[in-house]
């Protein structure tokens, strides 16, 4: 029987009604006891890492969680992390970069309804997450509503629907149905590389969504405030306006000052292409980097991680 360590961080799944609304209060051991069939699946150890609504999850908590994962990995066959849904995709992406060369599964899950709710989805999601962890496929994944999603390609797309997460610009990794785990894609990892923890982050990154009327002075302020990375969500395949409110001079100034500028798209599917329209080509010629098919969560966390390695 495999040993799976469950790390808890709070979130809706652990929430109860308080005087100011739902807040995480239920401990991990209590959640496990609510799912008796887990006892037949694997040996479980629960470790409480933090107890936060995921809206309050910050890069400092990503590092704390990554360290907890790294400490637990030698003692188990896989890890399940219970987490709030609102920023789960950010945490999953951040862990993807910080947990280098994973040789075991790290599965994040949560719920849209608290685990004590009569119609909770939490119990099933936890069970599915343990099934996926016991299956042994290395990597960081989100397991939710039966879907297995790669951590750095998942997004929360619904605020209430139980099927709340989607894989963006790539297929689901697999599914869990009635305890049976099926993988639809091949596992790709370097079998020779050793696992190591790398929590270097520079949070001086800003994400801005462009809109008609966006003023160039906003980008000037970003330069003045000392940011090192800027992600601009452009129009369509990554268009940046240069008519009336021309953003290109401010972008060029940002790049010349050492800021890494990435252009992504506001569209959820099919990604960025800066080589198609003049409004993208001009930005690319200045030195802007294409966000390609990555999600905003993946771009933000990866840029923080990459800048953390540059003095």
**What residues are annotated to the active site?**
12
CB-based contacts of 211-217 (< 8 A; 24+ apart in sequence) = 212/241, 213/245, 214/241, 214/245, 214/247, 215/245, 216/245, 216/246, 216/247, 216/249, 216/250, 217/250
Alpha carbons 219 and 232: distance in angstroms, whole number: 10
* Alpha-carbon dihedral 92, 111, 26, 76, rounded to 10 degrees: -40
Q: Is 237 helix (H, G, I), strand (E, B) or coil?
A: coil
Contact 24, 52 (CB under 8 A): yes
- Tell me the H-state helices in 118-180: 122-135
Query: Rounded distance, CA 54 to CA 96, Å?
Result: 18
């Amino acid at each position: 029987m495999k040993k799976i360590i469950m790390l808890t961080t709070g979130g809706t799944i652990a929430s109860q009604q308080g005087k100011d609304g739902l807040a995480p209060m239920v401990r991990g051991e209590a959640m496990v006891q609510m799912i008796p069939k887990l006892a037949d699946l694997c040996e479980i150890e629960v470790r409480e890492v933090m107890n936060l609504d995921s809206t309050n999850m910050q890069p400092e908590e990503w590092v704390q969680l990554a360290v907890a994962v790294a400490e637990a990995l030698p003692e188990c066959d896989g890890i399940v992390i219970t987490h709030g849904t609102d920023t789960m995709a950010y945490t999953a992406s951040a862990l993807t970069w910080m947990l280098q060369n994973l040789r075991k599964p790290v599965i994040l899950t949560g719920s849209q309804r608290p685990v004590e709710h009569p119609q909770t989805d939490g119990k099933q999601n936890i069970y599915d997450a343990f099934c996926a962890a016991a299956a042994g496929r290395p990597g960081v994944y989100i397991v939710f509503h039966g879907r297995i999603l790669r951590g750095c390609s998942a997004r929360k797309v619904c605020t209430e629907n139980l099927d709340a997460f989607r894989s963006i610009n790539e297929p689901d990794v697999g599914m869990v149905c009635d305890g049976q785990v099926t993988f639809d894609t091949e596992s790709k990892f370097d079998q020779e590389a050793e696992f190591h923890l790398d929590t270097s982050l520079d949070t001086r990154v800003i994400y801005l969504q462009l809109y008609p009327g966006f003023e160039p002075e906003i980008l000037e302020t970003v330069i003045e405030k000392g940011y090192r990375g800027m992600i601009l969500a452009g129009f369509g395949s990554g268009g940046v306006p240069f008519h009336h409110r021309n953003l290109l001079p401010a972008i060029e100034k940002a790049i010349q000052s050492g800021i890494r500028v990435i252009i992504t798209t506001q569209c959820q599917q099919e990604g960025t292409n800066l080589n198609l329209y003049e409004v993208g080509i001009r930005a690319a010629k200045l030195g802007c980097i294409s966000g390609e098919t990555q999600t905003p969560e993946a771009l933000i966390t990866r840029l923080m991680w990459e800048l953390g390695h540059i003095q």
